[in-house]
A = this chain, B = another copy of it.
């Protein structure tokens, strides 16, 4: 993919965001791009090739969202970004003159995504890539459920340290945790309180805290929470508020 990009735009700057998304796991990829994109310069072209349906009839999207450009298979991987910020435009990428001449059915990353991304960085407007779409495939992820005594959510990402990240944002608990310290429940474990940073717990302790993306996560100090608790996303998580 990088060879193709540099063949079209030798001045491109290419960053590998992550190679740790479990293969074919669209939900984890959706979280990874949600976490990373805001830290890149505006007008960055984000290329997402977690694409288990490559070669099938699934569409390819180019989307302008929050002053960034996203190029991704239409498999829901942009769901979380689009929940946070409404897409300004979504294009059904079809214009073959921006593809490699020989498109294989198994590696659109190299044959379609890479050359299209390189052309965008050279100034091609996404509106030239194909017709407009009104909507994109959405992942079936429930928003956290809030009751008087509990907040329930879903762990949808495990990072390279084994920290297990949920879809429960800090703001949601900040608004509610007015009395006691909440406790976190996951995989039959009860974790008392919410910490601020990892080294606050003893080595080997199971803790809960808000991670660098602003979501509630479960971690083991100096260890691997996903392995300890055998967590594979999606996995339910509950916060007891009182």
Contact = CB atoms under 8 A, between A and B. Distances in A.
- A56, A106, A197 interface centre (most CB from chain B within 10 Å): A106
B54 A198 contact: yes
Interface in A135-152: none
Nearest to A1: B39
A16 B117 CA distance: 19
A50 to B, nearest CB: 12
A23 interface: yes
A198 B106 contact: yes
A52 B13 contact: no
A242 interface: no
Interface in A155-170: 160-161
Nearest to A41: B7
A131 interface: no
Query: Main secondary structure on chain A at its contact with chain B?
Result: loop
Contacts of A39: 3-4, 7, 110
A6 B40 CA distance: 7
Contact of A54 (B13, B14, B36, B197): B197
Given A15-B2, A23-B161, A107-B212, A52 B222 contact: yes
Nearest to A38: B3
Given A3-B15, A211-B106, A212-B110, A10 B41 contact: yes
A198 to B, nearest CB: 7
A7 to B, nearest CB: 5
A10 B44 CA distance: 12
16 contacts: A2-B15, A3-B37, A6-B13, A7-B41, A10-B13, A54-B197, A54-B198, A55-B200, A104-B210, A105-B196, A106-B197, A106-B210, A106-B212, A107-B211, A110-B212, A111-B212
Interface of A: 2-4, 6-7, 10, 13-15, 23-24, 36-37, 39-41, 44, 52-56, 104-107, 110-111, 160-161, 196-200, 209-212, 214, 222
